[in-house]
Amino acid sequence: MSNFLRDRAAIVGIGWTPYSKNSGVSTLELALRAIAAAADDAGLRPSDIDGFITHSVGDSATAASVAACVGVPDPHVVLDLVGGGSMSAATVGAAAMAVATGQADTVVCWRALNARSEFRMGGTGRAAPALTEFQYQTPYGLFAPPQQYALVAQAYMDASGATAEDLAAVAITQRDNASHNPRAMMRTPLTLDAYLAAPWISDPLRLYDCCLETDAAVAVVVTTAERARDLDTPPILISGAATGGGHSLYSGARTDYSISAAADLAPRLYDNAGLGPEDIDIAQLYDAFTPLVLMQLEDYRLVPRHSAPEFVAAGNTKVGGQLPVNTHGGHLSEGYVHGLNHVIEAALQLRGTAALQVPGAEVALCTGQPGYVSGVSSALILRADR
């Protein structure tokens, strides 16, 4: 996204299905339900949409099939982005580009997945992924995301001095946030003793360091800022969007895995938005695993290098703190809809209608997975249109 596109597009509708361990329906049905809800939220009909953008890892309905089911015979934009949470923010950035340049009038972005009942990440019984690097990880037993991210976690902990208690502070804070959120799958308070007593998943990651496997869909409707002001809901301006490269654990030029690719992406993102880290009121940070929250606080320049553990432990990421983070509970406690549910929460916060509202929230940072394994990342800066 160039400066030319700054604030020219806006989020006008959001929708979601219940978050569960077994939806009982197909990913196509989930997508259609979330899209219908998002269109209704904007005061539109699903057939008013002429652009369709989604992201997946081979586990969902395609954009073309959704367009057909919605009843749009001539969609102007049909885009399937390959990637899990890495591409969540990129879908909204692509939608902003499409409407600002006149390719489409109204674009819906969504993520639909049955990630618990159907397609479990790293699960067995499926063909090996079509990734060149898979051949390099299999001899070492690195099949599942927790195993891969355990290496990242250990690198960050070694570099920063972060401890298990620092990871626990992330999980406990987000569970406290989720206790206020009716959408959240996990709302029972989490204690340090319970965190430390939980089973290891892949050292240094315990059970509560890992996101929830979730069946759900979320959808976001984007149109031009001008048109948005004539619709039913307060527009949420898309001030900045950026997509960037990432790390590979198995090949590539990067050698310091304690710093994510977000550190490279962040300057472009802020420049696109015409804002800086000091302008961010709330941050919805991709949290497939607890260490990613600490790393992104630093990599997006929200706190100094290696100070994130102390920052979180001091309560600064709680609502009422210096920088509220993952106010819905995040992927760790609300549910894992591959990054796009963070955009839903950001929109609610900027409208002033969130379950656990941050008073005066005007600017939100939303991030995708910060580039590990997939080799790509993306992020957004959203702003209330006051």
Could you give the residue numbers annotated as active site?
A: 286, 336
The candidate with the shortest Cα–Cα distance to 235, out of 1, 3, 13, 6, is: 13
Beta bridge partners of 314: none
Q: What is the DSSP string of 315-337?
A: TTTSTTSSS-B-TT-HHHHT--S
Answer left, alpha or beta for residue 301, where phi above 0 means left and psi between -120 and 50 means alpha. Answer: left
Q: How far apart are CA 37 and CA 350, in angstroms?
A: 19
> What's the DSSP call for residue 347?
H
**Which position has the token pair 């696109």?**
272
Phi, psi of 190 (to 5 degrees): -115, 130
C-alpha distances out from residue 376 to 25, 138, 359, Å: 30, 21, 33
Helix, strand or coil for residue 246?
coil
Q: How far apart are CA 379 and CA 286, in angstroms?
A: 10
Residue 302 contacts residue 275 (beta carbons within 8 Å): no
**Amino acid present at 8:** R
* Beta strand residue intervals within the chain, DSSP E: 9-16, 51-56, 77-82, 106-114, 200-202, 205-206, 215-224, 236-245, 282-284, 363-367, 376-384
Q: How far apart are CA 352 and CA 209, in angstroms?
A: 29
C-alpha distances out from residue 105 to 1, 41, 76, 102, 122, Å: 18, 17, 9, 7, 38
The 3-state DSSP composition of the chain as helix, strand, coil percent (nearest 5) reads 35, 20, 45
Q: How far apart are CA 35 and CA 67, in angstroms?
A: 11
